[in-house]
């Protein structure tokens, strides 16, 4: 079965058809900058534009940067606060004319990693941490997702963790990779004290530098880079939509 996967981020919205049997993207992804301000209607128009670019009429899965329950956004990270309380699934379905399933974006990336990537076949407690504009988390126990963990927003050093330790913070404060990694290590140690995961998978753009900053990380859990890279959100969103298709 093929499903259109769409990954909605703070800077870009990306999508491609995905084979949910193999995890393969069936066409080059389309990417459109996230509208500014990132309000519901303009983002819905971009989602519709991506679907139209593939002449898509089937099911759609969307990863979205918010707590999502039954298709409704309950928070808004790196998008307009007007999303809070919005039926995102209904809005996107109306815009595309397709059945749409919406999930938390980090959960989508985690589903991809657990199905086809670094977490494939792993049992126990697995924590996926995606680092980019913000920090996203997905938590799995014996392969089962614990949805909407949003652990990028715990308090760290008196502020929101992603404000202190995201890749955006590194760039904003012009931190060296080593100085940033010390902050990120504090964040991971805080999560380890709360959850005691068996495996931590690091995703997002910063994961490309994993070998460079790995020596700065001293958590007890096994820690590995994600394998799905920038495709994780698209593929995971499509996989998540299986239950809605």
Average pLDDT over the chain, rounded to whole? 95
Write out pLDDT tens, residues 29-67: 999 999 999 999 999 999 999 999 999 999 999 999 999
The pLDDT confidence band at residue 192, using thresholds 50, 70 and 90, is very high
- C-alpha dihedral (102, 230, 39, 37), degrees to nearest 10: 170
Give the range among 127-131, 132-136, 213-217 with minimum mean pLDDT.
132-136
**pLDDT at residue 245, as a whole number:** 59
As a whole number of angstroms, the distance between CA 216 and CA 224 comes to 14
Sign of the C-alpha dihedral, residues 96, 101, 106, 108?
negative
**Alpha-carbon gap, residue 245 to 243, rounded angstroms:** 6
- pLDDT at res. 194: 96
Domains of the chain: 2-107+231-243 (3.30.420.40), 118-227 (3.30.420.40)
Can you give the pLDDT at residue 10? 84
pTM of the model: 0.93
For residue 168, the tally of other CB atoms under 10 A from its CB is 18
The dihedral sign for the CA sequence 213, 197, 10, 235: positive
């Amino acid at each position: 079965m093929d499903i259109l996967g769409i990954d909605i981020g703070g800077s870009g919205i990306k999508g491609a058809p995905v084979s949910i049997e193999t995890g393969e993207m069936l066409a080059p992804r389309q990417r459109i900058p996230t509208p500014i301000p990132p309000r519901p209607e303009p983002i819905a128009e971009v989602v519709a534009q991506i679907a139209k670019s593939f002449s898509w009429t089937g099911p759609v899965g969307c990863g979205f940067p918010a707590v999502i329950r039954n298709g409704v956004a309950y928070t808004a990270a790196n998008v307009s606060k007007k999303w809070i309380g919005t039926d995102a699934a209904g809005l996107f379905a109306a815009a595309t004319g397709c059945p749409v399933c919406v999930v938390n974006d980090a959960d989508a990336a985690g589903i991809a990693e657990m199905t086809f990537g670094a977490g494939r076949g792993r049992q126990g407690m697995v924590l996926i941490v995606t680092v980019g504009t913000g920090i996203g988390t997905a938590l799995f126990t014996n392969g089962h997702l614990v949805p909407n963990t949003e652990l990028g927003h715990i308090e760290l050093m008196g502020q929101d963790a992603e404000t202190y330790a995201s890749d955006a913070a590194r760039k904003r404060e012009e931190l060296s990779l080593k100085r940033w990694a010390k902050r990120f290590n504090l964040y991971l140690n805080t999560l380890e004290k709360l959850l005691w995961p068996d495996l931590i998978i690091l995703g997002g753009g910063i994961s490309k530098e994993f070998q460079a900053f790995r020596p700065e990380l001293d958590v007890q859990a096994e820690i590995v880079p994600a394998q799905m890279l920038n495709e994780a959100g698209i593929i995971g969103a499509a996989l998540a939509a299986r239950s809605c298709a």
